[in-house]
Chain A
Amino acid sequence: MSKFNNWKAIGTVLGETDINEYHFSLKNYKAKKGDIVTTASRLPSTDGTVIPVTVWGKISSIERFNAFFPAEAAQELTNEDIDIRDTILPTTKDELRCKVIILGYTEDGKEKISKLLPLNYPVMPAAIVKYPSSKDVEELFISDLDSSHPISIGNLLARKDVEIKIDGDNLISRHISVWGMSGSGKTVFVRRILTELLNLKYPSFVLDIHGDYLGFVQKQKKYFPDNKVKLFYPNLSVRAEDKEIVYTLIDKLGNTLTDPQRDFLNSLLEKIKYEGGSLLQYIKLLNVKAREFASSGSTSFKNVKPASMFVVARSLRIVSKKLENMEQTNARHRRKMSHLKFEELPDSATEPEKIISKGQMSILYLRGYENLPASAIVSIVLENLFRHRQEASEEIAPFFTVIEEAHNFIPSRSENKDDIPSVDTIRKVISEGRKFGTGVMIISQRPSRVDETIASQCNSQVVFRIVNQRDQRATTRDSETLSNDDAKQLPNLANGQGIISGQIVNYSLPVQIKFDEKLINDDIGNENFIDTVENWDDKESVKLRKKFAKDFADINEIDSRRAN
């Protein structure tokens, strides 16, 4: 007996149908966009018989129109301030026409709903459209997902009682992109995923720019007692093979150099070997050496005058100053959260197991760092971790990397930042990651500014509210399963509502992400700046400065008085 008979009839299939979509006329208020609906059909089977099936589909759009209401009547109603209910105009002849994207079919007569199969024969016109029970929809999703590690992320947007799970195995191996405006729900989703990965003891490495994930550190003991949540601050350790990255960093962060000056910098990097250690120390060392060569009028560098060497030395000093400033800024932010235990990032080349370990989440707190140094840090760390996975010894377990503000680390070619160090690294990790268990999640509020090749290699996508049209186009460009109808919905999504698509769910589904409120970082304010100003009181040092400033102003005033 088909379950179909027990579901409520909500409409009738219209006109022409095909194997991908159909339209149906909907009863008022009986379904919403994004709802899952079914229709009974018959298909020719492989053995030549005709079998009864249930075709499952998702409502991708709903049009509502009143064909009996002439547009020009609206003009008169507005101009004359007439209430339509006072007139003879019809108000009750609304028609609802839904477009359904076919997800697949299940064979009837089975006790459990089987996995969806691709439809190869059109749906019957004039067939009844039914509204399956939430229990059956959930059963279909679970059976279709066929996952050994399902991860719960929330519920179907149109139905609160239908839980949506994604395939954990595909998530951690096939890469995922998360797009959405600021405040649309990206972090909520990432927290959900990280929570589930912690429960699975799967290692993760999070590049946290704003401190959005520090809640995990704060509440680790309470909610994840069996896991480790490590919080690191960057310590740039460099090795001889990182020469290119160091060169780029100096070239981009320092003064603009001429070709001979660049040649000198290159030769300097060749000459001054540095076997591991802090990048800052290395740059300081380079600065000292450059000065020495310039002062001594060294002739070991062909065609480079001492003046050019001084320019490079000055540039190195600027770079080291900038790096110091960034380190200090990061340290100031860390000091604000003194109750959290920050550790210096271990050397990823020699101690990768301190970063990646079973059951551990490692958060690299990058606040205060400019894009380029942050990119260099990420590039060096990821390169090393990936190498450890690549090598036969497999010194570290498979892990999952979360890259926040991805447009800073993997900018689009149109941004002209192709030489940013992390681009090549992440491209390599993404293209080969599937083999080595180094899945990546890239997150950005500006998908159009993210490298197209990397974005298109993400087999799954979660898209939250996006208003910018370039970004909307970028989401459909990079996805094989996100339709134009889905893209149209993007500007209207509320906080925490997203469209999930790709290999982690098989088809695109509008979802309300479960909000793990308990994991919010208590130290990050609620952005209520008006209240902050209301309660504002200057620090003692500021008060004193203001007082002295007044005294000095008085002196100046007296001084500038004319005689008499």
Chain B
Amino acid sequence: MTLKVDIKDKIKQNSSMFVNFIKNAITASPKVQNNFLEVTTKVAETALKIIKDADLIVDLNYKGKEFWSINRCKTSCFIDGGVDRTSIISSAPLSIRAGSYIVKPDATSKREFFEESMVFLGDLYDPKNELYDFVDDDFEEDQMLNKKKDGARIIFEAATIVKHILLNKKFDYCFLHGPLEATVMPFTVAGFPTFTKFAVENMFPFISKNSSVEARHFINAYLEALNYIKKSKFPIYGIVETSNSAPYIKNLLFNYKIKGTISDKDYNSVIKTIKKYKITDSHILEIILSSGQALKPLEVKKQLAGFTVTSGSAWEEKMDSFPKVFIGYIKTSDNQAPVRIESLNYPKHLIKDYEYILGTSRLLPNYGFPVGLNVVDKFAKIPNWMSKTSRKYYATHLLRQAIKNKDQNTVSLAVKILSKKSRSWKNRPIGGISK
């Protein structure tokens, strides 16, 4: 009874739960709306019992002054990628970069470095392989463009980590803003272009120079990169602010089902409920964990096949070979949902590493997220003025090249690219033709 009351109180104080409640109030049926609080409470109670049974909760220690006087000798690297917001129909995303913030507080000479770790000039995607993906549907066109941008950002971030490993950097910690292993399912769609040979060679020198075109596809290149990252000598963590799914809870339940502690029927039923009420790890763990508490990592399979896009596709098997990810959570502050910690290996020094993440997050008390990632996020972000400028330069360059070519079709193509939407293209002013 006490546990129930306690969890109910926590739900009332919980901001992300409230947000979800509002979302449900808009989209869900009256029954779901009505039962949301009760169901969430019950799921949280059950999850807490299982978590306690599995002894997954750890208490972390943080005493500001003392913590930093001990950890001032550590070298940390924080990585984030940035993409511009303008869009041009092209396979080559403009203005993309990944930055690193490397800091060693007690360094005798230079204590901190801001590094534009991955800057790539040239065609990222291969022009010979579906360079300009004109489709009639604007929506699909945008979807593909966004996927290319996401793919480029993810590969840049991975390449940055790879670069640091290749350069044999002596980091005590390396943190990536976002999941360490992204879900690759969106890139399995037909027509997603491959990277250029030059790009792959530059980003991942360990990939054979004579590899096939297929090897330069996002999924293959990313898999190679992850396998390389997994072998790193220093610990690498991906930190995710809010979890929109429930991989931890679902895997925990799955493990208990495998052990036979939960029946298949109960497992299926609770998974169905979680989906129905859109309950995420963040919601459940925010009310289960107290500030300064963490959950030990669980090994989770991230790349799940079986969706329409991947079912039967050539990538289905490949997705199976992606490394599993260790997922843990830390509640860094009273006001925020726990942050998700991803790693490709089980942490060798779990408590110390998690305490370090907690310590760096306490420097951002309201946001509850490692401050180094906040710093590198600002550094890597591509501001609007830079996006606009790069678009202007790109447009000028493209048109100049097209006009130099003197081929009418090439000029039309260039204008079409700059028009972005096919409707704008159709309605373009055409000299000398009256409609």
| Interfacial residues, chain A to chain B (CB-CB below 8 A) | 15, 67-68, 70, 72-73, 75-77, 79-83, 85-93
Q: A72: which of B114, B364, B378 is its contact (CB, 8 Å)?
A: B364
A88-B385 in contact (CB<8A): no
> B102 — nearest CB in chain A belongs to which residue?
A88
Q: Which residues of A contact B112 (CB under 8 A)?
A: 90-92
Q: Which residues of B contact A90 (CB under 8 A)?
A: 101, 103, 112, 114, 375
A72-B367 in contact (CB<8A): yes
Cβ of B312 under 8 Å from chain A: no
Q: How far is the CB of B106 from chain A (nearest CB, A)?
A: 8
Given A15-B385, A92-B112, decide whether A67 and B65 contact each other with a Cβ distance below 8 A: no
Cβ of B105 under 8 Å from chain A: yes
Given A80-B65, A90-B112, A92-B111, decide whether A67 and B364 contact each other with a Cβ distance below 8 A: no
B365-A76 in contact (CB<8A): yes
A87-B68 in contact (CB<8A): yes
Q: Which residues of A contact B69 (CB under 8 A)?
A: 86
> A77 — nearest CB in chain B belongs to which residue?
B363
A70-B101 in contact (CB<8A): no
Q: How far is the CA of A67 from the CA of B114 in the complex (A)?
A: 13
Cβ of B242 under 8 Å from chain A: no
A73-B105 in contact (CB<8A): no
> B363 — nearest CB in chain A belongs to which residue?
A73
Q: B364: which of A70, A81, A85, A93 is its contact (CB, 8 Å)?
A: A70
A68-B76 in contact (CB<8A): no
Q: How far is the CB of B69 from chain A (nearest CB, A)?
A: 6
Cβ of B64 under 8 Å from chain A: yes
| Interfacial residues, chain B to chain A (CB-CB below 8 A) | 63-65, 68-69, 71-72, 76, 101, 103, 105-106, 111-112, 114, 360, 362-367, 371-372, 374-375, 378-379, 385
Given A88-B371, A90-B103, decide whether A82 and B65 contact each other with a Cβ distance below 8 A: yes
Q: How far is the CA of A91 from the CA of B371 in the complex (A)?
A: 13
Q: How many A-B residue pairs have CB under 8 A?
A: 71
B375-A81 in contact (CB<8A): no
Given A87-B72, A88-B360, 11 more A-B residue pairs with CB atoms under 8 Å apart are: A70-B363, A72-B365, A76-B364, A80-B65, A82-B65, A86-B68, A86-B105, A88-B103, A88-B105, A90-B375, A91-B112
Q: B65: which of A68, A81, A91, A92 is its contact (CB, 8 Å)?
A: A81
A81-B103 in contact (CB<8A): no
Q: Which residues of A contact B68 (CB under 8 A)?
A: 82-83, 86-87
A68-B111 in contact (CB<8A): no
Given A86-B68, A91-B112, A92-B111, decide whether A68 and B105 contact each other with a Cβ distance below 8 A: no
8 contacting pairs across A/B (C-beta < 8 A): A15-B385, A68-B379, A76-B362, A77-B363, A86-B72, A87-B72, A90-B103, A90-B112
Q: Which residues of B contact A82 (CB under 8 A)?
A: 64-65, 68
Give the 9 A-B CB pairs with smallest separation, nearest first: A80-B64, A86-B68, A86-B72, A88-B103, A73-B363, A68-B375, A88-B372, A82-B64, A72-B366
A91-B363 in contact (CB<8A): no
Q: Which residues of A contact B105 (CB under 8 A)?
A: 85-88
A73-B65 in contact (CB<8A): no
Q: Which residues of B contact A68 (CB under 8 A)?
A: 375, 378-379
B378-A67 in contact (CB<8A): yes
B385-A70 in contact (CB<8A): no
Q: How far is the CA of A72 from the CA of B336 in the complex (A)?
A: 15
Q: How far is the CB of A22 from chain B (nearest CB, A)?
A: 16
Tell me which of A67, A76, A87 has the highest count of chain B C-beta atoms within 10 A of its own C-beta.
A87
Q: A73: which of B71, B364, B378 is its contact (CB, 8 Å)?
A: B364
B64-A88 in contact (CB<8A): no
B371-A81 in contact (CB<8A): no
Q: How far is the CA of A88 from the CA of B68 in the complex (A)?
A: 9
Q: How far is the CA of A412 from the CA of B365 in the complex (A)?
A: 54
> B74 — nearest CB in chain A belongs to which residue?
A88
Tell me which of A67, A70, A85 has the highest count of chain B C-beta atoms within 10 A of its own C-beta.
A70
> B374 — nearest CB in chain A belongs to which residue?
A70
Q: How far is the CA of A274 from the CA of B114 in the complex (A)?
A: 89
Q: How far is the CB of B365 from chain A (nearest CB, A)?
A: 5
Q: How far is the CA of A67 from the CA of B374 in the complex (A)?
A: 11
> B76 — nearest CB in chain A belongs to which residue?
A88
Q: How far is the CA of A76 from the CA of B360 in the complex (A)?
A: 11
Q: A81: which of B64, B374, B378, B385 is its contact (CB, 8 Å)?
A: B64
Q: How far is the CA of A92 from the CA of B107 in the complex (A)?
A: 13
Q: How far is the CA of A450 from the CA of B357 in the complex (A)?
A: 63
> A92 — nearest CB in chain B belongs to which residue?
B112
Q: How far is the CB of A86 from chain B (nearest CB, A)?
A: 4
Q: Which residues of A contact B375 (CB under 8 A)?
A: 68, 70, 89-90
Q: How far is the CB of A143 from chain B (nearest CB, A)?
A: 38
Q: Which residues of B contact A15 (CB under 8 A)?
A: 385
Given A67-B378, A88-B105, A90-B375, decide whether A75 and B76 contact each other with a Cβ distance below 8 A: no
Q: Which residues of B contact A81 (CB under 8 A)?
A: 64-65
B64-A76 in contact (CB<8A): yes
Q: How far is the CA of A90 from the CA of B102 in the complex (A)?
A: 10
Tell me which of A76, A79, A85, A86 has the highest count of chain B C-beta atoms within 10 A of its own C-beta.
A86
Q: A76: which of B63, B76, B103, B363 is its contact (CB, 8 Å)?
A: B363
Given A88-B103, A89-B371, decide whether A75 and B365 contact each other with a Cβ distance below 8 A: yes
Q: How far is the CA of A77 from the CA of B111 in the complex (A)?
A: 18
Q: Which residues of B contact A73 (CB under 8 A)?
A: 363-364, 371
Q: How far is the CA of A82 from the CA of B363 in the complex (A)?
A: 10
Q: A91: which of B63, B106, B111, B362 is its contact (CB, 8 Å)?
A: B111
Q: How far is the CB of B105 from chain A (nearest CB, A)?
A: 5
Q: How far is the CB of B170 from chain A (nearest CB, A)?
A: 16
Q: How far is the CB of A553 from chain B (nearest CB, A)?
A: 67
Q: How far is the CB of B19 from chain A (nearest CB, A)?
A: 21
Q: How far is the CA of A81 from the CA of B362 in the complex (A)?
A: 13
Q: How far is the CA of A89 from the CA of B71 in the complex (A)?
A: 13
> B68 — nearest CB in chain A belongs to which residue?
A86
Q: How far is the CA of A87 from the CA of B63 in the complex (A)?
A: 13
> B69 — nearest CB in chain A belongs to which residue?
A86
Q: Which residues of B contact A67 (CB under 8 A)?
A: 378
Q: How far is the CA of A85 from the CA of B103 in the complex (A)?
A: 11
Q: Which residues of A contact B72 (CB under 8 A)?
A: 85-87
Q: How far is the CB of B377 from chain A (nearest CB, A)?
A: 10
> B72 — nearest CB in chain A belongs to which residue?
A86
Q: How far is the CB of A70 from chain B (nearest CB, A)?
A: 6
A70-B371 in contact (CB<8A): yes
Q: How far is the CA of A443 from the CA of B106 in the complex (A)?
A: 56
Q: Which residues of B contact A76 (CB under 8 A)?
A: 64, 362-365
Tell me which of A76, A77, A79 has the highest count of chain B C-beta atoms within 10 A of its own C-beta.
A76
Q: How far is the CA of A92 from the CA of B104 in the complex (A)?
A: 13
Q: How far is the CB of B100 from chain A (nearest CB, A)?
A: 13
Q: Which residues of A contact B385 (CB under 8 A)?
A: 15
Q: How far is the CB of A76 from chain B (nearest CB, A)?
A: 5
Q: How far is the CA of A67 from the CA of B366 in the complex (A)?
A: 17
Q: Which residues of A contact B378 (CB under 8 A)?
A: 67-68
Q: How far is the CA of A83 from the CA of B72 in the complex (A)?
A: 10
Q: How far is the CA of A88 from the CA of B385 in the complex (A)?
A: 29
Tell me which of B76, B360, B375, B385 has the highest count of chain A C-beta atoms within 10 A of its own C-beta.
B375
Q: How far is the CB of A36 from chain B (nearest CB, A)?
A: 29
Q: How far is the CB of B353 from chain A (nearest CB, A)?
A: 15
Q: How far is the CB of B8 from chain A (nearest CB, A)?
A: 30
Q: How far is the CA of A73 from the CA of B374 in the complex (A)?
A: 11
Q: How far is the CB of A68 from chain B (nearest CB, A)?
A: 5
Q: How far is the CA of A428 from the CA of B111 in the complex (A)?
A: 68
Q: How far is the CA of A396 from the CA of B64 in the complex (A)?
A: 80
Q: Which residues of A contact B114 (CB under 8 A)?
A: 90, 93
> A80 — nearest CB in chain B belongs to which residue?
B64
Q: Which residues of A contact B374 (CB under 8 A)?
A: 70
> B360 — nearest CB in chain A belongs to which residue?
A88
Q: How far is the CA of A69 from the CA of B346 in the complex (A)?
A: 32
Q: How far is the CB of B136 from chain A (nearest CB, A)?
A: 40
> A67 — nearest CB in chain B belongs to which residue?
B378
Q: How far is the CA of A448 from the CA of B379 in the complex (A)?
A: 48
Q: Which residues of A contact B103 (CB under 8 A)?
A: 88, 90
B363-A87 in contact (CB<8A): yes
Q: How far is the CB of B58 from chain A (nearest CB, A)?
A: 22
